[in-house]
Amino acid sequence: MIISLTDAKKLNSTIEQEDLDAFEQSVRGLTNNNFQNTAVRFSGISLEEPNLIKVNDSIKGLRKGDTLEVNYSSYNDGLYTVEEIFEGAIKVSEESFLEEESNDLMVTLVSYPADIKRGIKKLIEYDKKMANKVGIKSETISRMSTTYYDVTAAENTEGYPSNLLSFLKKYKKMRW
């Protein structure tokens, strides 16, 4: 998770966890970057129901609330939030795993830079401020005059003005 739901609620009280998940997917999709911190990676793990990741190594470099990415799984690839850390196990808060064990399974810490977090906060503030004014360029009250933007693909990305998403440019990776 890029920012917590409680931090996002301070900016916009109507935001939901699904909105934050959508922001995260958009950032990862637009940059083609998984933001994985390879210094905190566990391999040869097993996933057990309901929400337990069994790790063979000692667990270092994780905190409650961190985001983990599961890779090379048949059923459970994705992002998960750390709820608790035990000796040799990590409990995550998302829905239940489908139990599986494989030598190929890998879990990696996902870390987002501070400017990504700041950019998402700006997008949340933009949503709050501009949600009911989408498309309006200028508005005159006396004699009632409203001018609408001519929004083209060059000016718009994921429903936001392109300049609001400029913070992502330095994190873009090539698609192979």
Report strand pairing: 156-157 vs 46-48: unpaired
What number does CATH give the domain 38-110?
2.40.30.20
Give the type of residue at 22. A
Q: What is the mean pLDDT of the chain?
A: 85
Q: What are phi and psi of 94, to 5 degrees?
A: -75, -175
Residue 12 has pLDDT above 80, yes or no: yes
Domain ranges (residues) in the chain? 5-33+113-171, 38-110
The model carries a pTM of 0.78
pLDDT in tens, 56-110: 888 989 999 899 999 988 888 889 999 999 988 999 987 777 877 777 889 999 9
Residue 51 confidence class, pLDDT cut points 50, 70, 90: confident
